[in-house]
Homo-oligomer: A and B are copies of this chain.
Amino acid sequence: MIIVLRPEATEKQIRHIVDKVKKLGLKPMVSKGIERTIIGVIGKEDILRVQPLEVFPGVEKVMPVLAPYKLVSKDFKPEKTIVDAGGVKIGGKKVVVIAGPCAVENHQTFLKIAKIVKKAGASLLRGGAFKPRTSPYSFQGLGEKGLKILREVSKEVALPTVTELMDIRDIDVVERYTDMIQIGARNMQNFNLLKEVGLLKKPVMLKRGLMSTIEEWLMSAEYILSNGNFNVVLCERGIRTFEKTTRFTFDVSAIPVVKNLTHLPVIADPSHATGKWGLVAPVGAAAIAAGADGLIVEVHSTPEEALSDGVQSLMPANFNSLMANVTSVARAVGRSI
């Protein structure tokens, strides 16, 4: 931690800060420059991070030196984490494609879509039973009934599943019916939910909040890991910016950035990021080229009839062509599918 003092900071103020630092068991090093005096602090930065040092008289600003996360960082665990979701490995050499409709609507439609994505080469099946919707008047999902359909179809097509958990009260039922639990973008900082899935063994797919920094995203993963669950897959799904031709702005750089900082696998969701089916394939290919460990995409057999997110759902033919495209880009960057 570096404490930068104001030009007019007095000796008394400096001593007050130095005393505080020492009282915390840390070692202050005062360095008087031409324009500013600086106090470097040696010792565990965590101790100081929770102190409101900016409030001490004479302090201009405080600059942390270390990242605030630990368990998710490569410093802590240099080798890559490979997450096993119902037998499918995420984070290895193989790129993983998770596909399915936005919401589970009924057994027949879901089975139809599941067969299509399985045939096209998807490794995991997605489908929401609990849907976070901006409007109270929109379709909110089938709830446990949807989870049962998810499980049945999962067995019929032999694909493990991922589905969203929105409410702590549903944790048992969601855990029972799925192979990987999704924490959605709007719940990325629902800290109590993070703590609870941290107590499970089941893999968790943690979506980046739509206006969350990469640091906050990793801190949310830290909540899960610090409770014991290291089976976390990060998912970049676009951030909110001023640009309005796409629903969000897919932050493709986040993929190599996160892979430099953490040992956790990172996948991409081009469907939610763009909000337009015509952009899913090029953005998905871009994510793989940038090093993503997989994709999660929305596919619907009849988007015109979809109860949610029809606009960003791929038709079967388009999903086939995405798979072909992604496969060839994956190979170009030394991965397989």
Contact = CB atoms under 8 A, between A and B. Distances in A.
Interface of A: 2, 4, 7, 20, 29, 31-36, 38, 40, 42-46, 49-52, 54-56, 63, 65-66, 68, 75, 132-139, 166-169, 186-187, 189-192, 195, 209-216, 219, 222-223, 226-227, 239-246, 249-257, 260, 273-274, 276-279, 282-283, 285-291, 303-304, 306-307, 309-311, 313, 325, 328-329, 331-333
Contacts of A256: 278-279, 282-283
A66 B36 contact: yes
B186 A189 contact: yes
A257 B240 contact: no
Contacts of A65: 2, 4, 33, 36, 38
Given A66-B35, A209-B211, A283-B256, A249 B246 contact: no
Contacts of A285: 289-290, 333
Given A252-B286, A282-B256, A289-B286, A304 B56 contact: yes
Contacts of A166: 190-192
A251 B240 CA distance: 12
A284 to B, nearest CB: 9
Residue among A4, A63, A240, A307 having the largest count of chain B Cβ atoms under 10 Å? A240
Nearest to A274: B253
Nearest to A194: B136
A34 B46 CA distance: 12
Contacts of A136: 191, 195, 219, 222-223, 226-227
A2 B63 contact: yes
Contact of A50 (B7, B138, B192): B138
Residue among A132, A252, A276, A332 having the largest count of chain B Cβ atoms under 10 Å? A252
A2 B42 CA distance: 14
Contacts of A328: 332-333
A44 B277 CA distance: 27
A311 B54 contact: yes
Residue among A133, A278, A290 having the largest count of chain B Cβ atoms under 10 Å? A290
A275 to B, nearest CB: 9
Contacts of A311: 52, 54-55
Contact of A241 (B75, B245, B249, B303): B249
Contact of A42 (B34, B54, B289): B34
27 contacts: A2-B38, A20-B304, A32-B42, A50-B139, A54-B276, A55-B306, A134-B189, A134-B216, A168-B168, A186-B189, A211-B242, A213-B244, A213-B245, A239-B243, A241-B241, A241-B249, A245-B253, A246-B257, A249-B251, A252-B286, A253-B282, A257-B279, A282-B291, A283-B290, A285-B333, A286-B289, A329-B332
Contacts of A190: 166, 186-187, 190
Contacts of A49: 135
A277 to B, nearest CB: 7
Contact of A279 (B216, B253, B310): B253
Contact of A192 (B56, B167, B209): B167
